[in-house]
Chain A
Amino acid sequence: MSVLVYTESDQGNLKKGAFEVASYAKAVADQLGTTVTALAINASNTNELGNYGVNKVLTVNNNDLNSFSAKVYANVVKQAAEKENAQVVIVSSSADSKYLAPLLAVSLNAGYASNVIEAPSNTAPFTVKRNAFTNKAFEVTQINTNVKIIGVSNNAFGLVENSASATSEDFSPAIEASTVTVEAVDKATDKVTIADADVVVSGGRGLKGPENWGMIEELADVLGAATACSKPVSDLGWRPHSEHVGQTGKPVASNLYIAIGISGAIQHLAGVNASKVKVVINTDAEAPFFKAADYGVVGDAFTVVPQLIEKLKAFKAQQ
């Protein structure tokens, strides 16, 4: 018996989220009195997993796995789970993990709970708390099957250091040919993604037009943040759809979310409420976002944001 965690990598390096799911796996393993095995595919820095409580890393190195295929990857995770006799399999909430988890669930005949935000409150029956109703509520769910899959919500559990020295084992699963082939990937490699970002700077219709996004990008640069936008901004074509956040866009669960010229409609808030700290900058003191925010500035973005950029630059220079 063990807990298996699938630790994702990007261009050969484990993602930050990999250490969060490893931390979560360690908490579950402690509750069950067992150990953590991580599965890493084409990743180099797997020794770092030991810092988060992983006891053993199954490393898979295979060029056939260079581009992601949910079905093929799910099958690799399945083989690892069977080899390790895993009782619980932990995955992240990345787009790829959310893609493969349901396939894995069927092949392992495992119950799957997604968007889980805390360590299990009980292991018999196996009970977890998850986000539901797009962050408007939590659902307590019981998983009834022998094997369980948990999708951990991004940035909900955090990183927990737990020194163990992880042993490494080469793992060579059978790899099938993919029937969904990736033909082209369009991804900015130099920019932090909304899913991985600690800080997200988001602009709304209050910014009046696409030509005014320079200051949003500059603010994001200073903070090492990802940029995002409200739905009408992407519907109007001011910003790409990939930046649309909210109930019908991407979810945001960053440490800091800065909303500029965004009114705070219920559908917008639902998708960004999982962020830990929210700052709003808006000319209208009555904008609903002020009720959901931690900090607010009632003011014109066109004067506040440039000043904030200068002050943050000075602050960063001092640090």
Chain B
Amino acid sequence: MNILVCISHVPDTTSKINFSENNTKFDTNGVQFVINPNDEFGLTRAMWFKEKQGAKVTVVNVGGAETEPTLRKALAIGADAAIRVNAAATDGFSVAKQLAKVATDGGYDLIIAGRESIDYNGGMVPGMLAALLDANFVNNCIGLDVDGTTAKATREIDGGKETVATSLPLVVGGQKGLVEESDLRIPNMRGIMMARQKPLTVVDGVETTDQTTSVSFEKPAPKGAVKLVAEDNLDELISLLHNEAKVI
């Protein structure tokens, strides 16, 4: 099995989100970047396919040179090779188009992406990629097994989950559940050393037209102070929720 794992390079979950250039750009000052958590679950599942079923695992990112440490980390976790498409990731559709080119050129039969990136939360790249490749697609994927060219996947749905049968070529939008939190791997020294020897290929992007344009950003209005209610005065809480907040 030839697996491609799409890696989004995102601010660490604890980052303070600020904007620069008159609120038109994300301010990366002091921000630490990581592998998008949803993608990390997918990458770890890919490592399982590598170790148990002899799969080859390539990771790919669409972005500038600043994303390379994130790809190196994926290599240190155990991916065999990395590709960086040298193009700005400014629009979900354009990113999907870049990835589709890489997927077609490399002849991958399983593509694992994250259900969404935690920065722009677009949630569209895996589905668009599947549509562009005319491949099968399972979103919110929380379980995946592959046997030959058939696949069984579990998908989270509102209020539960469902199991589906499908076949390769397949794109999944993954999340926690593909592997458990405790299965995630922290790269060790050997992994980090080996990652330096592994190929990280930079390819040029294809021509695309952005379907959406990010215009500006805003931060939520600061919150008012919490209203505290004494623990022996819960009638007050009920009254506030009923009369003031009008939510019960």
Contacts and interface: CB of A to CB of B under 8 A. Distances in A.
Interface of A: 68, 70-71, 94-96, 98-103, 105-107, 110-115, 127, 129, 131-145, 179-188, 191, 193-196, 198-199, 223, 231, 235, 241-242, 244, 247-249, 255-256, 266-267, 270, 273, 276-277, 279-280, 290-300, 303-304, 307-308, 311-312, 315
Contact of B139 (A70, A242, A297): A70
A115 B93 contact: no
Contact of B160 (A101, A223, A242, A296): A242
27 contacts: A98-B139, A102-B130, A106-B127, A115-B123, A131-B121, A133-B11, A133-B120, A139-B217, A140-B216, A142-B213, A144-B210, A179-B136, A179-B166, A181-B166, A183-B162, A242-B156, A242-B160, A242-B161, A248-B176, A276-B247, A295-B237, A296-B227, A297-B229, A304-B234, A308-B237, A308-B238, A311-B234
- Chain B's interface: helix, strand, loop or mixed, by majority? mixed
Interface in B162-216: 162-167, 173, 175-177, 180-182, 209-216
Interface string B231-244: 10011011011100
Interface in B24-60: 37-38
A268 to B, nearest CB: 10
A311 B231 CA distance: 13
Contacts of A241: 142, 176-177
B158 interface: yes
Given A179-B167, A297-B230, 14 more contacts: A103-B137, A105-B93, A143-B211, A183-B165, A184-B162, A187-B159, A195-B158, A196-B159, A242-B156, A248-B176, A277-B241, A295-B229, A295-B245, A297-B229
Nearest to B247: A256
Nearest to B215: A140
Interface of B: 11, 13-14, 17, 19, 37-38, 92-93, 96, 118-128, 130-132, 136-140, 142, 152, 156-167, 173, 175-177, 180-182, 209-220, 223-224, 226-231, 234-235, 237-238, 240-242, 245, 247-248
